[in-house]
Structure 1
Amino acid sequence: MLKGFKNFLMRGDIVVVAVGLIIALALSTLIKAFTDNVIDPIIARAQGGGSVGLGWQLGDPGNTSTYVNLGAFISAVIYFVIFMAAVYFLIVVPYKAVQARRGVTVFGDPTPATTCPACLADDIPTGAAKCRYCGTDQRATPAAP
């Protein structure tokens, strides 16, 4: 029973999806900070309506709804960078090492691909004999840069 659970957890696509979700959550935090602290005050000022910090007061002093708080946004950017570094060094690097011991390459460079001259699909493997989309024969061409 535990072996099956371990195999389920060690599937490459599960970890890739988990890392993608973590990145999406961190990016969501960054975007929310940008909208809350930069975009929202500009919109509030356009509608009419003083704080101390790194930013500009667009309206009456003390009105926090019209304060462009760049300090909070810079803080969110720093948080994002630190969070992504932690995800990379605590999840991605150990996972790559474990998978390398198993003989599986994850998070590696993409395989070389060419462009199909008929349908212009740009993800045809270099050694392919036919295009996977339109079925035309592929001539031997060097990989796209």
Structure 2
Amino acid sequence: MLKGFKNFLMRGDLITIAVGLVIALAFSTLIKAFTDFVINPIVSRFQGGTSPGLGWQLGDEGNKATYLDLGQFISALIYFVIFMAVIYFLIVVPYRHFQARRGVRAFAEPGPLKTCPACLSEDLPAAASKCLHCATEQPPTEGAVRR
């Protein structure tokens, strides 16, 4: 039983995912600090005065629960864009390159699709001879490669 658990933990895919998640968490912390201590003060500066941030007070003055803080939303949006760019360029692109060297297409664009004339499902591969959903015979598509 422990041998099977060890084999499960030592699978290459699981290790790759675990390393990717740890790296993503580290970058998340770094980018969060950047948005909190660099972006937020810049956005808040545009409000001016003694306002708590870029936004509007919807209720009683000084009540943080009714303050519509657009500055925090802009900061979160910038955080998200930076975080996704870091993940893409530092994890996805190298992983795709590594998998291509192994002969595996990771994060590849799906092939051409066609629509079934019987049930109108739109997710059939262009080379399919039968529909996945209703099992009707499909007319051959020009340019489709048959194997």
**TM-score tier (shorter):** 0.5 to 0.7
Tell me, which stretches of 5 or more residues in structure 2 are unaligned? 1-5, 29-49
SS across alignment from 1:56: strand
CA distance in 1, matches of 2:13, 2:79: 31
1:1-145 to structure 2, matched below 5 A, reads 5=10, 7-9=12-14, 15=17, 51-141=51-141
CA distance in 1, matches of 2:13, 2:60: 57
Residue 107 of structure 1 aligns to which amino acid in structure 2?
Answer: F
SS across alignment from 1:105: coil
How far did residue 84 of structure 1 move?
A: 0.5
Structure number with the bigger relative contact order (C-alpha 8 A, sep ≥ 6) is: 1
How far did residue 51 of structure 1 move?
A: 4.5
Deviations 1:91-121 (A, max 9, x none): 1011001001001111111111100011111
Residue 112 of structure 1 aligns to which amino acid in structure 2?
Answer: P
Tell me, which stretches of 5 or more residues in structure 1 are unaligned? 27-49
Return closer, same or farther for 1:121/1:132 CA change in 2, 3 Å cut-off.
same
Q: TM-score, normalised by structure 2?
A: 0.64
- Is the 8 Å Cα contact of residues 53 and 69 (structure 2) preserved in structure 1? yes
Residue 5 of structure 1 aligns to which amino acid in structure 2?
Answer: M
How far did residue 69 of structure 1 move?
A: 0.3
Deviations 1:12-54 (A, max 9, x none): xx85xx78xx7xxx8xxxxxxxxxxxxxxxxxxxxxxx95310
RMSD across aligned positions (CA): 2.9
How far did residue 129 of structure 1 move?
A: 1.0
State how many pairs are aligned.
109
Residue 99 of structure 1 aligns to which amino acid in structure 2?
Answer: Q
**Identity, % of aligned positions:** 55
How far did residue 7 of structure 1 move?
A: 3.1
CA distance in 2, matches of 1:103, 1:134: 33
Return closer, same or farther for 1:142/1:79 CA change in 2, 3 Å cut-off.
farther
Deviations 1:37-84 (A, max 9, x none): xxxxxxxxxxxxx95310011122211111100001100001101111
